[in-house]
């Protein structure tokens, strides 16, 4: 089955350039200039492996569309393309279900590397590791379920993968590069700010579930450590 990509970008010139560049890599790529056109395309093809989603669309807020896409396509990679540089806007996008983001203007080589990395992560067929128990937290990779005192914590796909990596090495310091390699891709290209955003969201959700707010410690200049109770 061929890899299907969808570019949702209201600027026709940018949309055509991105679509052409993706096709040159051997992927099937299609351009939608509006949210309506994107949803119509998905209704036709039924599935898509990756979406490049511009946040500024003429007929629907891109974050609202991201939320809708994530609900309909839980396994699809969504990369936001945004001119908004405020951290809260990026957090909202990740909360809506985006796996990653790039701020405009971006280099085409970085975008292609990110796309390639995410698609590689989606092709692994290795058996999931056994459940991890850390105090009141249980993380079950096979079921893709995390619970605190038996109550499920609602996590986005990358948040869950990050928790598996952190909780699976509870009490040990994990370098940023290792976490990026395990959760995103070993050949990751560009900023690792997306890691910080996911850690921030994960901390908040774990705290809301009843764990300590500082259950994930930042190790400045190195990485993170999940604190074992």
**Are 106 and 196 part of one and the same domain?**
no
Q: What is the per-residue pLDDT for 122?
A: 60
What was the pLDDT predicted at 125? 46
Residue 2 burial class via C-beta count within 10 angstroms: exposed 0-12, middle 13-18, buried 19 and up:
exposed
**Domain assignment present for 61:** yes
Instruction: Reduce the DSSP state of residue 47 to 3 states and report it.
Output: coil
Reading the chain (229 residues) residue by residue, the pLDDT tens digits are 578 999 999 999 999 999 999 999 999 999 999 999 999 999 988 889 999 999 889 999 999 999 999 888 888 999 999 886 667 777 788 888 888 888 888 889 889 988 988 887 665 445 667 899 999 999 998 888 999 999 999 998 889 999 999 999 999 999 998 998 888 776 565 666 788 888 998 999 999 999 998 999 999 999 999 997 6
Query: For residue 93, what pLDDT is reported?
Result: 83
Judge if 98 and 140 occupy the same domain. no
Helix (H) or strand (E) holding 218: strand 216-219
Q: Which of 88, 121, 154 is the last residue of a domain?
A: 121
Q: Which domain holds residue 18?
A: 4-121
Residue 140, H or E segment = strand 137-140
DSSP 3-state assignment of 201?
helix
CA 118 – CA 90 distance, rounded (Å): 18
38 domain-assigned: yes
Domains: count for the chain: 2
Query: Quick check: is 58 in a domain?
Result: yes
CATH number, domain of 72, equals: 3.40.50.2300
How far apart are the C-alpha atoms of 199 and 189, rounded to whole Å? 19
**Dihedral angle of Cα 62, 105, 184, 60, to the nearest 10 degrees:** 0
Q: Is 74 part of any domain?
A: yes
Tell me, what's the pLDDT at 129? 74
Final residue of a domain: which of 121, 142, 165?
121
On whether residue 126 sits in a domain, the answer given is no
Q: Which residues does 81 contact at the CB level (< 8 Å), separation at least 6?
A: 9, 52, 53, 54, 55, 101, 102, 104, 106
Are 40 and 116 contained in the same domain? yes
Q: What is the C-alpha to C-alpha distance for residues 157 and 134, in angstroms, rounded to an integer?
A: 20
At 189, list the tokens: 């290209």
Do 30 and 116 fall into the same domain?
A: yes
């Amino acid at each position: 089955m061929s890899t299907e990509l969808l570019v949702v970008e209201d600027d026709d010139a940018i949309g055509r350039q991105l679509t052409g560049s993706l096709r040159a890599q051997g992927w099937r790529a299609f351009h939608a200039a509006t949210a309506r056109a994107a949803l119509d395309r998905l209704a036709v093809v039924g599935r898509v492996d990756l979406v490049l989603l511009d946040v500024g669309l003429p007929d629907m807020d891109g974050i609202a569309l991201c939320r809708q896409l994530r609900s309909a396509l839980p396994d699809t990679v969504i990369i936001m393309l945004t001119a908004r540089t405020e951290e809260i806007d990026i957090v909202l996008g990740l909360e809506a279900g985006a796996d990653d983001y790039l701020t405009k203007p971006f280099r085409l080589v970085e975008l292609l590397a990110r796309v390639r990395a995410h698609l590689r992560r989606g092709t692994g067929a290795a058996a999931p590791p056994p459940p991890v128990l850390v105090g009141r937290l249980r993380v079950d990779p096979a079921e893709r379920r995390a619970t605190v005192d038996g109550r499920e914590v609602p996590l986005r796909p990358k948040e869950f993968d990050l928790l598996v990596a952190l909780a699976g090495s509870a009490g040990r310091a994990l370098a940023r590069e290792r976490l990026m390699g395990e959760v995103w891709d070993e050949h990751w290209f560009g900023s690792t700010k997306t890691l910080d955003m996911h850690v921030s969201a994960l901390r908040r959700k774990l705290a809301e579930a009843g764990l300590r707010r500082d259950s994930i410690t930042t190790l400045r200049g190195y990485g993170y450590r999940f604190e074992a109770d």
